[in-house]
Structures are given as structure tokens and as C-alpha cells.
């Protein structure tokens, strides 16, 4: 098992061949559209920079090439994502909205062959008020009560306060791409796949990677079609920029720039990913703080929601999704369909799409009151009338059927 703890993120950029830049680029991207941020992609006929002599003889550095071809599983990781792809919007009375763009949002997670978990850490999350003047108000939960998404070998799930939801994974009966927990849990799993596959999560379901030269490779993804990659820039014998063209649909181009500490390690400490898709260009940054690689024998069948709550806690409400329908589970184990508000997840079904990256937190907050909206609800008491979130259909329904 490979384990290393990264130094806390500095206020300036990491050392790298070809600087990425010291400040995080943020843009207010909400449901209405996305703002393009970051640098330009190379044109379609771009070619890779000539590999250094040592790399021309053996290809990309063996560690990089081997890592990308056969990446290790993630036993535990703590990382940050730039907040431009995690905007938080709160709707207030008089039909007004305010949006906050965190500098960073922080997660802890693990990715194993049959399951994963992703825990929402306090940084950038649990925002309950965005005043006109003054700093935003955070209400992070106590340790052990964070919002968590994950999967076992048989189920997708998420867990909030006293509520948890689950949906069967294929090929179990009731599996459906319309099940809300599956759509959101698969998309969040993509955050970890992006780290494991060095910024190119589309490689996760490719059978193998074929290197056709010292700086070029191809792979065929079951979900995304042909993937063609080329190393664009080197620092000595270490690749520091990579471009991948994904056939899709939808067709897209990823450019990944890697930032290393003084002694390069894999995965690199910083990955800046620029995604060009559907006429939009969005850039975000991953910053790894703690990385432990390898298999976890305790979680050979994935992760259970009960692992993320104190042992004496009994969930007050359980929701089970089957064939796209949400059911409440009674204490006797009966399934009762839940009527009422149900958001449209259709735009999230392509989880690698840039639009999906912007709506996930808004959807998670609105969907069923799991986790973050619970904190919004409990913290609302005592606020002044003019600064209280609007009682929308979503929040009223949440009070009835979270």
C-alpha cells in the first residue's frame, strides 16, 4: 500500500514544468448556463511536444505510463476541488436568489473494486445563508454526521442526518438509470475516478490502454467510445500536460495539467482539468492532500451507510428507489410509494458532462432533504423575517417527505 500525506496547499502554485498559475479560477456557473474559465485548448490538429531523449527511447516515464495503464485503487484520499464547479444558490423571499462560489470544497473518500464512499467535509459545504453584506454562514455538522454518498457491491446510497436512501445496482431487480441515488452516486464516484485516472475518468471502463508511441495512447470505453490521448508537455522525463479526445457521445476534449511538489509523485499533487464539450469550456482543479493507495480488505464488498454514523444510531427514515420510483420503507419493511416533488435527473445522466458538474450540489440540496437541507432547515430558526429562505414547493415537500 502506497501512503503519503501531502503538505497543506500553499497559497501559490506548485512547482511544475509550465506553470498552471497560483490562483484558482472561479466562475458563477448555475443552472442557467456555464461560464467559460481557464486556458485555451490546443486546436484539433495540435501535436505533442517532442519527448525528451530518455522518453523517446522508453516512452513516457515508466511510473507515469504504468500508473495510467494500471492505476492503483484508492484506499483513502482527502482532496479539494475548486469551487467554480460547486456553486451554492439559496432562494430567498420575494423570489430572489443569491449564489456563492466557494474557493475550494473538500472531500474524503475511497474507491475500491466493488464500492466507494465520498464524504462532504466542512470546507465549502453546509452553507445555510448568503447575506447581502457580510460573510456567508456555514453550519457544518458534528464529526460523524457529515453528508456521505457511496456504494456497496449491490446498492447505491446516500446518507444525511437520520435519513438514508438506496437504490439497487445492476443487475439487481429494480435497477434503473432513473433512480436518483444511482445517478448522483455514480456522478460523485466520478470525482474519485478522475483522481485515479490522472484527470481522465472516461478511462475507468476501458478494457485496456494501448500505447502507440512514446507519447500517444488509445483506449476504447464501453460508455464513451474511442479515447485518444497525447502527452503535450514534459518536464525532464515527467509528463506535465496531457490531452485526450473522447468520441462520446457527447464528443469532448480534456486537457490535464499536472502540478508536482519538488519530488514528483503519482498521482500528482495537483490536476487542473479543462473540459471542452457542447461549445463550452470549463476548468477546475483537484488538489490532493492525503493519498493512500491499495486494496482495503475490510471493504471488499464496498461501503455501508451504517459505517458513517455512530453505532447506536437508528435511521428514522429509509427510502428505497426501484424502477425510478421512490418508496418509503415502513418499520415493518413494507414499501410505500412516495408522491410529491421529484426533480428531473435527466441532465445528470451523462456524469462526465460539464453541465452535470454544476448542478449536482443544487440538486442534492433540493432532493429529499438529505444532509445539507436538513442543516439549512434547522439553522433557519431565529433568522430575521427578511433574510429567511423562501418556503418553496421543494422545501415544503421536504418537510413532509425528505
In this structure, what C-alpha cell is assigned to residue 262? 519538488
User: Which segments within 84-131 are labelled E, that is strand?
Assistant: 88-92, 96-100, 104-112, 115-120, 127-129
88 and 136 fall within a common domain: yes
183 and 226 fall within a common domain: no
* pLDDT at residue 282, as a whole number: 97
252 and 267 fall within a common domain: yes
Residue range of the domain that includes 247? 1-7+46-68+205-278
| Average pLDDT, integer, range 289-310 | 95
Domain boundary pick from 263, 278, 293:
278
Nearest Cα to Cα of residue 306 among 134, 201, 155: 155
List, for residues 107-152, the tens digit of each pLDDT value.
999 999 999 999 999 999 999 999 999 999 999 999 999 999 999 9
List, for residues 277-294, the tens digit of each pLDDT value.
999 999 999 999 999 999
125 and 233 fall within a common domain: no
* pLDDT at residue 1, as a whole number: 63
Q: Is residue 290 part of a domain?
A: no
Percent of the chain residues topping a pLDDT of 70: 69
Q: Is residue 151 part of a domain?
A: yes
Q: Which residue has the higher pLDDT, 180 or 108?
A: 108
176 and 222 fall within a common domain: no
Nearest Cα to Cα of residue 189 among 121, 116, 125, 120: 116
Distance CA 14, CA 23 (A): 11
Q: Which residue has the higher pLDDT, 237 or 370?
A: 237
The secondary element (H helix, E strand) that includes residue 291 is: strand 280-293
184 and 235 fall within a common domain: no
Amino acid at each position: 500500500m502506497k501512503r503519503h500525506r501531502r503538505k497543506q496547499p500553499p497559497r501559490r502554485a506548485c512547482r511544475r514544468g509550465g506553470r498552471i498559475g497560483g490562483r484558482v479560477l472561479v466562475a458563477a456557473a448555475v443552472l442557467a448556463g456555464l461560464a467559460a474559465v481557464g486556458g485555451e485548448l490546443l486546436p484539433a490538429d495540435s501535436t505533442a511536444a517532442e519527448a525528451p531523449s530518455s522518453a523517446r527511447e522508453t516512452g513516457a516515464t515508466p511510473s507515469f505510463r504504468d500508473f495510467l495503464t494500471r492505476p492503483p485503487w484508492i484506499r483513502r484520499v482527502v482532496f479539494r476541488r475548486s469551487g467554480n464547479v460547486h456553486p451554492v444558490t439559496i432562494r430567498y423571499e420575494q423570489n430572489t436568489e443569491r449564489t456563492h462560489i466557494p474557493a475550494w470544497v473538500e472531500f474524503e473518500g475511497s474507491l475500491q473494486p466493488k464500492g466507494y464512499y465520498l464524504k462532504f467535509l466542512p470546507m465549502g459545504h453546509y452553507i445555510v445563508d448568503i447575506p447581502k453584506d457580510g460573510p456567508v454562514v456555514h453550519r457544518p455538522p458534528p464529526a460523524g454526521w457529515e453528508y456521505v454518498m457511496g456504494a456497496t457491491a449491490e446498492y447505491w446510497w446516500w446518507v444525511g442526518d437520520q435519513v438514508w436512501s438506496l437504490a439497487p445496482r445492476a443487475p439487481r431487480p429494480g435497477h434503473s438509470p432513473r433512480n436518483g441515488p444511482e445517478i448522483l452516486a455514480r456522478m460523485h464516484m466520478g470525482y474519485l475516478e478522475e483522481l485515479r485516472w490522472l484527470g481522465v475518468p472516461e478511462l475507468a471502463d476501458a478494457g485496456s490502454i494501448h500505447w502507440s508511441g512514446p507519447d500517444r495512447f488509445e483506449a476504447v470505453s464501453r460508455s464513451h467510445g474511442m479515447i485518444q490521448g497525447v502527452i503535450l508537455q514534459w518536464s525532464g522525463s515527467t509528463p506535465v500536460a496531457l490531452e485526450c479526445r473522447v468520441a462520446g457521445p457527447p464528443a469532448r476534449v480534456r486537457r490535464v495539467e499536472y502540478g508536482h511538489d519538488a519530488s514528483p509523485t503519482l498521482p500528482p499533487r495537483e490536476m487542473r482539468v479543462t473540459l471542452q464539450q457542447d461549445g463550452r469550456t470549463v476548468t477546475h482543479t483537484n488538489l490532493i492532500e492525503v493519498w493512500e493507495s491499495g486494496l482495503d480488505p475490510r471493504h471488499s464488498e464496498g461501503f455501508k451507510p451504517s459505517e458513517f454514523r455512530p453505532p447506536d444510531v437508528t435511521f428514522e427514515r429509509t427510502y428505497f428507489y426501484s424502477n425510478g420510483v421512490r418508496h418509503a420503507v415502513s418499520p415493518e419493511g413494507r414499501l410505500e410509494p412516495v408522491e410529491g416533488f421529484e426533480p428531473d435527473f435527466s441532465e445528470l445522466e451523462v456524469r462526465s458532462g460539464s453541465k452535470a458538474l454544476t448542478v449536482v450540489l443544487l440538486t442534492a440540496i433540493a432532493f429529499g432533504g438529505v444532509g445539507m437541507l436538513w442543516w439549512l432547515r434547522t439553522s433557519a430558526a431565529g433568522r430575521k423575517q427578511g433574510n429567511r429562505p423562501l418556503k418553496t414547493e421543494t422545501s415544503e415537500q421536504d418537510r413532509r417527505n425528505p
